């Protein structure tokens, strides 16, 4: 299901979206897979699938510790992308938005990262450390690849 159709369905039913965030690999891959499936089976509308990063400055202490546990356990971006593939192969149908810090796709190659994420079965990407102004030139490439760019703004962000 696409993000657009998910939100249209929720709007028709006059419901808000329950978007559950999981840093994949915390504490290990098998637990993460079971957790994501359980969240979907119990009402999550969208999974925010976090790819752990070593310096998650936009996150609070709980998410920072989750990243460290996952990385200490050997999780990598490639294993995370494989995790999305496994979830899709096992029948997970709700939308997945991949959240990670911009350094990961930058080092991997931005278009390569986007294609890998899309081919794995994700519908969107969110980069918490990407300023709105710097996201504008990337928006067209993200759309061309077939993903949605999710932006975060603060109440103080200018239009």
Q: Hey, what domains does the chain have and what are their CATH numbers?
A: 1-90 (3.20.20.70)
Those residues whose C-beta lies under 8 Å from the C-beta of residue 59, and which sit 6 or more positions away, are 67, 128
Q: Which residues are catalytic?
A: 48, 59
**Least confidently predicted of 8-12, 24-28, 61-65:** 61-65
Q: What is the pTM assigned to this prediction?
A: 0.94
What is the structure's pLDDT at 18?
97
Residue showing tokens 């752990």: 52
Contact 77, 70 (CB under 8 A): no
Torsions phi, psi for 47 (to 5 deg): -105, 125
CA separation for the pair 94, 36 (Å, rounded): 10
Q: Which residues pair with 124 in a beta bridge?
A: 97, 148
Mean pLDDT across the chain, nearest whole number?
95
Q: What is the pLDDT of residues 57-100, one digit of tens each?
A: 888 889 999 999 999 999 999 999 999 999 999 999 999 999 99
């Amino acid at each position: 299901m696409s993000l657009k159709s998910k939100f249209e369905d929720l709007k028709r039913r006059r419901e808000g979206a329950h978007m559950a965030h999981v840093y994949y690999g915390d504490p290990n891959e098998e637990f993460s897979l079971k957790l994501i499936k359980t969240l979907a089976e119990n009402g999550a509308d969208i999974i925010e699938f976090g790819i752990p990063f070593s310096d998650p400055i936009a996150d609070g202490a709980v998410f920072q510790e989750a990243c460290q546990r996952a990385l200490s356990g050997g999780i990598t971006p490639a294993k995370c992308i494989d995790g999305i593939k496994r979830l899709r192969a096992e029948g997970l149908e709700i939308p997945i938005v991949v959240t990670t810090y911009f350094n990961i796709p930058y080092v991997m190659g931005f278009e390569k990262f986007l294609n890998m994420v899309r081919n794995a079965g994700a519908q969107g990407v969110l980069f918490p450390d990407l300023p709105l102004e710097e996201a504008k030139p990337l928006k067209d490439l993200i759309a061309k690849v077939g993903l949605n760019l999710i932006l975060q703004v603060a109440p103080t962000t200018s239009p």
